Amino acid sequence: MIRAVIIMNDQGKPRLVKFYDHQPMEKQQEIIRSIYGVLCSRAENVSNFVHADSTFGQDTRLVYKTFATLYFIVIFDDSENELAILDLMQVFVETLDKCFSNVCELDIIFNFNKVHTILDEIILGGQVVEMNSSDVVKAVNDISGLEKNPNSILRVSKSISGWQGR
């Protein structure tokens, strides 16, 4: 299964952290730090796999991919195929790209909830549930629609921030 999905920037700042098995907060932060330590020491144009046995137990792997300033990291065990996980990351990034049209780090910073929504449509409980990015986009749009449900109370503050936000 997939143990964790992490997005962090090239400064080691986490932008998305999702663990599928229970890890205490301190452990999570330690893991993120150690992963960053490993990744930033790796040269460009090298293979994308790192052994994660020390932090996640036997036979766990870490696959990462760099997109502009971001590291996309997936940690998984031997029930997954390394190359398939790389494909999965491609799907994830494609979906982000479709949802934010030309995704950049700022989109991910300011759309904490939406990025989680997207991820949850692709992976559930460490299992991949959708590999088709357009299906994911459709579901995410449905959810956004529900969130903006006219029945829900629209606060003044919300609309104010809406003007300021963009």
Looking at the Cβ atoms of 12 and 97, the one nearer to other proteins is: 12
* Sheet-wide strand order for 14-19: 14-19, 2-9, 70-76, 61-67, 49-51
- Determine which residue in the list 34, 69, 134, 161 makes contact with other proteins, applying CB under 8 A: 161
Tokens of 86: 């790389």
Binding-residue total with other proteins (CB under 8 A) = 63
Contacting residue, 34, 66, 113, 134, with other proteins by CB under 8 A: 113
Q: Give yes or no for a contact between 59 and 53, defined as CB atoms under 8 angstroms apart.
A: yes
Q: What are phi and psi of 54, to 5 degrees?
A: -65, -35
> For residues 48-87, which are near other proteins according to CB under 8 A?
48-51, 78-79, 81-84, 86-87
CA 71, 82, 136, 119 torsion: positive or negative? negative
Span of 22-30, 66-74, 94-102 interacting with other proteins by CB under 8 A: 22-30
Which residues lie across from 127 on neighbouring strands?
A: 124
Rounded Cα gap, residues 43 and 127, in angstroms: 31
Letters for 132-151 (x = contact with other proteins by CB under 8 A, - = none) are: x------x--xx--xxxx-x
Q: Does 14 bind other proteins (CB under 8 A)?
A: yes
Q: Does the CA dihedral 12-15-19-20 come out positive or negative?
A: negative
In the complex, which residues of this chain contact other proteins (CB under 8 A)? 1, 13-15, 17-18, 20, 22, 24-26, 28-29, 42-43, 45-51, 78-79, 81-84, 86-87, 109-110, 112-113, 116-117, 120, 124-132, 139, 142-143, 146-149, 151-153, 155-158, 161, 164-165
